[in-house]
Chains A and B, each alone.
Chain A
Amino acid sequence: MSAEDRLQGYVGRVRRILEDAGAEIGDEIEVRVGEKTYRGILIARYELADPDHVVLKLPSGYNIGIRMTGDISVRRIAKARKPGFTPPPRPEAKPGLPKVTIVSTGGTIASRIDYRTGGVKPALNAEDLLSIVPELSEIAELDSEILFSMFSEDMTPGLWNQMAERVHRLIESGVDGVVIAHGTDTMGYSSAALSFALQKPPIPIVFVGAQRSSDRPSSDAATNLIAAVRVAGHAPFAEVCLTMHAWHSDDVIAVHRGTRVRKLHTSSRDAFRSVNHEPIAYVVGGEIKVNTEGLNPRGGDGYRFRPGFSEKAALVKFYPGMGPEIFEVLAERGIRGIIVEGSGLGHVANRLIPTLKRLIEEGIFIGMASQCIWGRVNMRVYQTGRDLLRIGVVSLDDMLAETAYVKLSWCLAQTDDLDEVRRLMLTPIAGEVGARSLPTRAEGVVA
Chain B
Amino acid sequence: MKIDYGEVGLKVGLEIHRQLDTRTKLFCDCPTEQVKGKEIVFQRWLREAQSELGEVDPAALFEARKRKKIVYHADTSSTCLVEMDEEPPHDLDQEALEVALTAALLMNAQPVDEVHVMRKIVIDGSNTTGFQRTCVVAMGGWVEAAGKRIPIQTITLEEDAARIIRQERGEIHYDLTRLGIPLIEVSTAPVIHSPREAYEAAYRIGRLLRATGKVKRGIGTVRQDLNISIRDGALIEIKGVQELDLLPKVVENEVVRQLHLLRIRDELRRRGVKREDIEGEEPRDVTHVFKQTKSKILRRKVSQGGRVMALRLPGFAGLIGLEARPGIRLGAEFAGRARAWSEVEGIFHTDELPGYGITGEEVEELRKTMGAGEMDAVVIVADEEEKARDALERVRERAAEALEGVPSETRGARPDGTTVYLRPRPGAARMYPETDLPPYPIRPEQVEELRRRLPPTLEEVAENLAKRYGLSPQAADELIDMEKVELFERIVSETGVAPTVVASTLTELMKSLRREGLETQHIPDQEFLEFFRMVDRGEIAKEAAEKVFRWLAENPGKTLREAVESLGLRPVSIEEVEQRINSLITAHRELVERNPGKAVSVIMGELMKDYRGKVDGARLFALVKERLAKQG
Name A's B-contacting residues (CB within 8 A): 36, 43, 46, 48-50, 53, 55, 58, 60-67, 83-86, 110-116, 118-121, 131-132, 211-212, 214-219, 222-223, 247-251, 266-269, 444
Q: Is the CB of B85 within 8 A of A215?
A: no
Cα A418 to Cα B123 in complex, Å, equals 58
**Within the assembled complex, what's the spacing in Å between the Cα atoms of A41 and B243?**
38
Contact assessment for A113 and B46 in the assembled complex, using a CB-CB cutoff below 8 Å: no
State whether A65 touches B112 (Cβ < 8 A).
Answer: yes
Interchain CB contact (< 8 A) of B50 among A84, A131, A211 = A131
Separation of A114 and B118 alpha carbons in the complex (Å): 14
Question: Can you name 5 A-B pairs with beta carbons within 8 Å?
Answer: A60-B154, A63-B116, A66-B114, A118-B432, A120-B49
Kindly list chain B residues whose C-beta atoms are within 8 Å of the C-beta of A61.
118, 120, 428-431
Q: How far is the CA of A48 from the CA of B121 in the complex (A)?
A: 25
| Residue from the set B110, B114, B428 with the largest chain A CB neighbour count within 10 Å | B114
Beta-carbon contact of A217 and B48 below 8 Å: yes
**Residues of chain B within 8 A of A115, CB atoms compared:** 51-53, 428, 430-432
CA distance A132 to B64 in the complex (A): 13
Tell whether, in the assembled complex, residue A53 and residue B441 are in contact, meaning their CB atoms are under 8 Å apart: yes
Interface string of B133-145 (1 = CB under 8 A from A): 0111001000000
CB-defined contacts of B43 to chain A, threshold 8 Å: 249-251
In this assembly, does B494 line the interface, its C-beta being within 8 Å of a C-beta of chain A? no
Residues of B within 8 A of A43 (CB): 433
Determine how close the nearest CB of chain A comes to the CB of B39; give it in whole angstroms: 13
Q: Which residues of B contact A (CB under 8 A)?
A: 40, 42-54, 81, 84-88, 110, 112-116, 118-121, 123, 128-131, 134-136, 139, 154, 156, 428-433, 435, 438-439, 441
Bound CA span A266–B86, Å: 9
Q: How far is the CA of A112 from the CA of B438 in the complex (A)?
A: 22
B49 touches A268 (CB 8 A): no
**Could you tell me if B86 and A269 are in contact, using CB atoms closer than 8 angstroms?**
yes
**A-B contacts at CB below 8 angstroms, number:** 153
Instruction: Write the chain B residue with the least CB distance to A265.
Output: B86
Contact residues in B for A211 (Cβ distance below 8 Å):
86
Residues in A with CB closer than 8 Å to B128 are 218
- Candidates A60, A62, A247; contact of B116 at CB < 8 Å: A62
Partner of A63, one of B48, B84, B118: B118
Q: Which of B50, B88, B113 contacts A113 (CB 8 A)?
A: B50
Kindly identify which residue among B44, B47, B87, B439 contacts A268, using a CB–CB cutoff of 8 Å.
B87
For the complex, what is the distance from the CA of A118 to the CA of B429, rounded to whole Å?
13
Interchain CA distance A121-B118 in the complex, whole Å: 18
Is B130 a contact of A86 with CB atoms below 8 Å?
no
Chain A residue at minimal CB-CB distance from B436: A213
Tell me how far the C-beta of A93 lies from the nearest C-beta in chain B, rounded to whole angstroms: 21
Residues of A within 8 A of B88 (CB): 267
Cα distance, A319 to B293, chains bound together (Å): 82
Chain A contacts of B129 at CB under 8 A?
Answer: 216-218
- Given A85-B54, A215-B432, 16 other A-B contacts at CB below 8 A? A61-B120, A62-B136, A63-B116, A63-B433, A64-B136, A64-B139, A65-B114, A65-B116, A83-B52, A112-B52, A113-B51, A118-B435, A217-B48, A218-B46, A218-B85, A218-B128
Question: CB within 8 A of B47: which of A63, A131, A222?
Answer: A222
A113–B42 CB distance below 8 A: no
Cα distance A114–B52 when bound, in Å? 5
Which chain A residue shows the least CB distance to B71?
Answer: A249
Report the bound CA distance from A63 to B43 in whole Å: 32
Q: Separation in Å of the B82 CB from the closest CB of chain A?
A: 9
Chain A residue at minimal CB-CB distance from B430: A115
Contact A64 B428, beta carbon cutoff 8 Å:
no
